[in-house]
Amino acid sequence: MLQYLARRLVSYVVLLVLAVSLVYLLAASQLDPRSLYELRNPPLDRAAVEASLRAYNLSDATPLLERYRTWLAGVVTSWDWGRTPSGASVNEEIGTRVWVSVRLMTLGSVLGTVAGVALGAWSATRRHRAGDRVVTLASLLVVSTPALVLGVVLQIVAVRVNQATGTQVFEFLGETGRHGDGVLAPVADRLQHLLLPTLALAAGQAAYFSRIQRNLMLDTMGAEHVRAARARGLRRATALRRHALRTALVPTASYFAFTVAGLVLGATFTELVFGWHGMGAFGMAAIAGQDVNGAVAFAAFGGVCVAAGALLSDLVVAALDPRVRLR
C-alpha cells in the first residue's frame, strides 16, 4: 500500500507543479501591475516605476519566461513567493491567512462529509418514506443554493434568533470579537464566530455526499454478498453496516477528491460573507489588485488542498478495499 500511495503522491506533486506554473504564466501575461502605478496622482516617474517593477519581478518589459525562471528559483531555493505590487512580502501576507482557511475548510469538510455519508446511508434504508423524502428535498435545496446566498441566509436567520432570544447566540462577523470573563472566554468566542461559517461550508458538502451515498447504498443493499450475510443470520442493520456501507464507502471516498476544488471556492465566498481574512479573501483581493504573485500563491494553496484531498481519498480507498493494497 505504501508503494501505491507513494506513486500517487509523486503524480500529484508533478501535476501540482505543472498547474501552478501554468497559473503563473497566465497571471503574469494577463494581470497588469504597472497600471496601479500609472493611476497615481500626481503621476510617478516612469523610471522609478520600472525600477520598482523590476525589483519585484513584475515588469512586463522583462520576457515572460525570464520572470518565470526568477520566480521559480525563488520558490524552490528559499520558498519565496515574491512581492506584491506595493512591495509587501507574499509570504508574510499568507502566513496567517493560510491557517484561517485551513481551519475553516478542515472543519467544514470533515463535518460535511461525515454528516452527508450518515444522512445518505440512513435515507437509503428508508427509501420512499417520509424521512427519505425530507432528506432528499433538503439536500437538493442546499445543493441548488450558491455558497454566497447560503451564507447570507444563515446570517439573516442568526440575526432573527439573536433578536428573539435577546442574547448574542450567534456571532458571525470576523474571526473573533469581544472576550468575556474567564480563561476559556477567548476559546469560546472563537468557536462562536466559527459556528456559522463552518455550518455554511459543511451544509453544501453534506447535501452533496448525502445524494452520492444514498445512491451507492441502494446499489449495494441488494448485492449478493449482502444477501449472503443476511442468510448467515446477521441482523439487517449489522449486514448493511458491515457489508453494504463498507462497499459503498469506496467510491464515496473517490468522490471526495473531486469535491475539494468546490470546497476551496465555497470557502472563498464564505470568508467574504463572514468577514474572515483567509486565503479566499486574499485571492480575490490579489486578482482585483493586479497582484501576480499573490494570485499564484492563492492558486497554489488551492492546488495543495486538492492534492491533499486526493491523497486522503486514496488512503481511505486503500484502507477499505484490500485489492488496492496489493497494487
Q: Answer for the pair 294, 286: CB distance below 8 angstroms, yes or no.
A: yes
Q: Which of 120, 140, 130, 158 is nearest to 245 (CA)?
A: 120
pTM of the model as a whole: 0.84
Q: Answer for the pair 10, 49: CB distance below 8 angstroms, yes or no.
A: no
List alpha helices for the chain, DSSP H: 2-30, 34-38, 46-55, 64-78, 90-124, 130-143, 147-165, 185-221, 224-231, 236-239, 245-274, 279-288, 292-320, 322-325
Pairwise CA distance, residues 146 & 155, whole Å: 14
What pLDDT does residue 192 have? 81
- Any idea which residue has 454528516 for its cell? 115
What pLDDT does residue 26 have? 95
Pairwise CA distance, residues 263 & 125, whole Å: 28
83 phi and psi, to 5 degrees? Answer: -120, 155
Sorted by where each begins, the domain ranges of the chain are 97-325
Q: Which of 173, 139, 151 is nearest to 269 (CA)?
A: 151
What pLDDT does residue 297 have? 94
What pLDDT does residue 77 have? 93
**Residue 248 in grid coordinates:** 459503498
For the chain, which residues score pLDDT lower than 50? 183
Instruction: Summarize pLDDT for 45-79 with one digit per residue, the tens.
Output: 888 888 999 999 999 899 999 999 999 999 999 99
Q: Answer for the pair 230, 239: CB distance below 8 angstroms, yes or no.
A: yes
What pLDDT does residue 90 have? 93
- CATH for 97-325, among 3.90.1150.10, 3.30.420.40, 3.40.50.40, 1.10.3720.10? 1.10.3720.10
What pLDDT does residue 89 have? 92
What pLDDT does residue 183 have? 47
